[in-house]
Amino acid sequence: MRPACSLSIVSFAALVLGDSHYFFSGFFAGSTIVGVEFDDATSTLSLVNNITTKATSGSKWIAIDERKRNVYVGTTGYVQSYAVTANMSLEYVSQITLSASCQNANYLTAASTSPYTVFAAAYSTGCPAQAIAVDDSGALQSSVADLTYSNSSGVHGLDLSSDNGFVYSADDMGNAVWVHSYDSTSQTAEEIQYLAAPSGANPRHLAAHPDGQWVYVVYEEANSLAVYKRDNATGLLTDMNTTYSLLPSGYTNTSNYWADEAKFSIPVFNSSTASPKYLITGTRSRSTSSPGYISAFALDASTGAITEQLFITPSTASGGSANAVSPAPFSEEYFAITDSGSNFVEMWRIADDATSAAAVAHLGLSAGPANVVWVS
Ligand SMILES: *[C@@H]1O[C@H](CO)[C@@H](O)[C@H](O)[C@H]1NC(C)=O
Ligand SMILES: *[C@@H]1O[C@H](CO)[C@@H](O)[C@H](O)[C@H]1NC(C)=O
Ligand SMILES: *[C@@H]1O[C@H](CO)[C@@H](O)[C@H](O)[C@H]1NC(C)=O
Ligand SMILES: *[C@@H]1O[C@H](CO)[C@@H](O)[C@H](O)[C@H]1NC(C)=O
Ligand SMILES: *[C@@H]1O[C@H](CO)[C@@H](O)[C@H](O)[C@H]1NC(C)=O
Ligand SMILES: *[C@@H]1O[C@H](CO)[C@@H](O)[C@H](O)[C@H]1NC(C)=O
Ligand SMILES: *[C@@H]1O[C@H](CO)[C@@H](O)[C@H](O)[C@H]1NC(C)=O
């Protein structure tokens, strides 16, 4: 598959790439997390590290800190922290034990600024999310605050405002979006808004734009992306009653699909202030014989508003329980996808004219991957 040398120099020169990059992938079952290298000159993915963790019942969601020193793992009953070692492996450091009725650790996100608080959600009815304090190295120390919902809630996704002062929660079982403020000095969380979602929506994951003016919500059951305006001073949201379908037009069989993920591309230079070019989504097919769908949206560089839905293209396979997209830190055009129906990870690339995207590298795995986090 390696292209001839001269061809590779010509076709990749314009990208100013030529490096190898590294990510970790978690799995829905088992205790392995893998380390994978992507060579952008040859477009190849290689499994370079099989890491045995203490997460014996899978690593359903993993997150990495801003400093790329720690990987946090959600597994049944625990949220664990692992140090990223010099040889790109993971070394277990500590864990938080979850309560008996909230064992299903399913989503994690880490604050981008000191004190680097980690937020964790367990996907079971009535469970609060937790704010977890970390020590100087970033290792999990203790749960310091609960973010409470209603007793019919089941929160599946979280995101933070760019100053980490507000937490947005996608309540899939309770069909709602919640807003909490979080004060990292007093270590207190307060519910400030509950927004019921339209009937049959079921918010799963969401993405708060770093410029502060928009939050985009994946409606899992409706297979659509919903637009919420954000007040940058109060953190409060307004449902704009605007949705974009994440399936091709004419598909009325939405119950055969379940939309999954929305993530912003990562600006390569000065990522703390620059505005992402794209919002990229993954939707799963419930049948392993039909593909899921990948879509991307162009975003206004100064406001973060959606200017255009660029494409809706089939993924290589169904996605299984995953089709979790993870944008690369080295180019806004590249993102990784996990597929737990056919057991692989892929690298995808958005075309130069942004009207399409396609897989550029494929790596078969021996189990079903959940999501990946990029180290470099
Ligand atoms: C990782 O494990 C898989 C199978 O479980 C094996 O095929 C592969 O060679 C291993 N890779 C490394 C780098 O250890
Ligand atoms: C990586 O480094 C750790 C110590 O930080 C060591 O325990 C482990 O054996 C090393 N792994 C490999 C594959 O060299
Ligand atoms: C929620 O909890 C309250 C108080 O414990 C209880 O009265 C109510 O029935 C519960 N509702 C549901 C939907 O479980
Ligand atoms: C939104 O608020 C953040 C934090 O207070 C600030 O850094 C940012 O510049 C604000 N954005 C806009 C568009 O006003
Ligand atoms: C969205 O629809 C609701 C219910 O019809 C309405 O109350 C609200 O004003 C609408 N929001 C906007 C921003 O138009
Ligand atoms: C959903 O409907 C579309 C259009 O008729 C069809 O192409 C597709 O295969 C269907 N998907 C599933 C999972 O049945
Ligand atoms: C990023 O951009 C901001 C605003 O233009 C600037 O103040 C800051 O120094 C830049 N940071 C880096 C690392 O270039």
Do you know the residue count of the chain? Answer: 376
Q: 268 CB under 6 A from ligand 1?
A: no
Q: Which residues pair with 334 in a beta bridge?
A: 349
**Residue 152: its pLDDT value, please?**
97
pLDDT digits (tens, 9 = 90+) for 30-60: 999 999 999 999 999 999 999 999 999 999 9
- Which ligand places an atom closest to the C-alpha of 150? 3
Which residues lie below 8 Å from residue 171, measured CB to CB, with a gap of 6+?
149, 153, 154, 155, 156, 177, 178, 197, 203
Q: 211 CB under 6 A from ligand 4?
A: yes
**Residue 40: its pLDDT value, please?**
95
pTM of the model: 0.92
CA of 314 to the centre of ligand 1 (A): 29
Q: Which residues pair with 148 in a beta bridge?
A: none
d(Cα 117, Cα 3) in Å, to the nearest integer? 45
Which residues lie below 8 Å from residue 16, measured CB to CB, with a gap of 6+?
none
User: If DSSP states are collapsed to H, E and C, what string results for 194-218?
Assistant: EEECCCCCCEEEEEECCCCCEEEEE
CATH topology (fold) of 20-374: Methylamine Dehydrogenase; Chain H (2.130.10)
The residue assigned the tokens 């973060």 is: 304
**Residue 139: its pLDDT value, please?**
98
Res 198 pLDDT > 50:
yes
CA of 308 to the centre of ligand 5 (A): 22
**Residue 14: its pLDDT value, please?**
38
pLDDT digits (tens, 9 = 90+) for 285-300: 999 999 999 999 999 9
Res 214 pLDDT > 60:
yes
241: left (phi over 0), alpha (psi -120 to 50) or beta: left
**Residue 274: its pLDDT value, please?**
75
Position 282: which residue type? G
pLDDT digits (tens, 9 = 90+) for 158-187: 999 999 999 999 999 999 999 999 999 999
pLDDT digits (tens, 9 = 90+) for 71-124: 999 999 999 999 999 999 999 999 999 999 999 999 999 999 999 999 999 999
**Of 340, 286, 339, 283, nearest to 316 (Cα)?**
339
**Of 223, 218, 216, 222, nearest to 205 (Cα)?**
218
Ligand 1 atom nearest to CA at 48: 13
**Residue 273: its pLDDT value, please?**
58
Ligand 1 atom nearest to CA at 34: 1
Res 9 pLDDT > 60:
no
- Which ligand places an atom closest to the C-alpha of 300? 4
Q: What's the rounded mean pLDDT across residues 210-220? A: 97
| Residue 9 DSSP class | H
Q: What's the rounded mean pLDDT across residues 248-269? A: 95
The residue among 16 and 12 whose pLDDT is bigger is 16
d(Cα 167, Cα 273) in Å, to the nearest integer? 19
CA of 197 to the centre of ligand 5 (A): 11
**Which residue has its alpha carbon closest to ligand 6 atom 7?**
251
d(Cα 110, Cα 134) in Å, to the nearest integer? 10
Position 315: which residue type? S
CA dihedral sign of residues 46, 52, 55, 58: positive
Q: 339 CB under 6 A from ligand 4?
A: no
For the record, the structure tokens of 75 come out as 């597994």
**Residue 270: its pLDDT value, please?**
58
Please give the C-alpha separations between residue 42 and each of 23, 50, 353, in angstroms, as whole numbers. Answer: 17, 23, 22
Q: What average pLDDT does the structure give for the chain?
A: 94
CA of 51 to the centre of ligand 2 (A): 10
**Residue 235: its pLDDT value, please?**
98
**Residue 268: its pLDDT value, please?**
85
pLDDT band of residue 16 (cuts 50, 70, 90) is low
Give one DSSP letter per residue of 106-172, joined into a string. EEEEE-SSTT--EEEEE-STTPPEEEEEE-TT--EEEEEEEE---TT--EEEEEE-TTS-EEEEEET
Q: Where are the domains of the chain?
A: 20-374
CB atoms within 10 A of CB 114: 12
- Which ligand places an atom closest to the C-alpha of 253? 6
Q: Which residues line ligand 6 (CB under 6 A)?
A: 251, 253, 256, 285, 287, 290
Res 220 pLDDT > 80:
yes
Q: Which of 50, 52, 366 to mutate to test the pocket of ligand 1 (most atoms within 8 A of CB)?
A: 50
- Which ligand places an atom closest to the C-alpha of 34? 1
d(Cα 352, Cα 268) in Å, to the nearest integer? 16
d(Cα 212, Cα 228) in Å, to the nearest integer? 11
Contact call for residues 275 and 266 (beta carbons, < 8 A): no
CA dihedral sign of residues 361, 364, 368, 374: negative
**Which residue has its alpha carbon closest to ligand 5 atom 12?**
240
Res 210 pLDDT > 70:
yes
Q: 241 CB under 6 A from ligand 5?
A: yes
- Which ligand places an atom closest to the C-alpha of 48? 1
**Residue 375: its pLDDT value, please?**
97
**Which residue has its alpha carbon closest to ligand 7 atom 1?**
270
CA of 241 to the centre of ligand 5 (A): 6
Ligand 2 atom nearest to CA at 85: 5
Phi, psi of 315, rounded to the nearest 5 degrees: -80, 170
Res 144 pLDDT > 60:
yes
DSSP H or E run through 64: strand 61-64
**Residue 3: its pLDDT value, please?**
35
Res 4 pLDDT > 70:
no
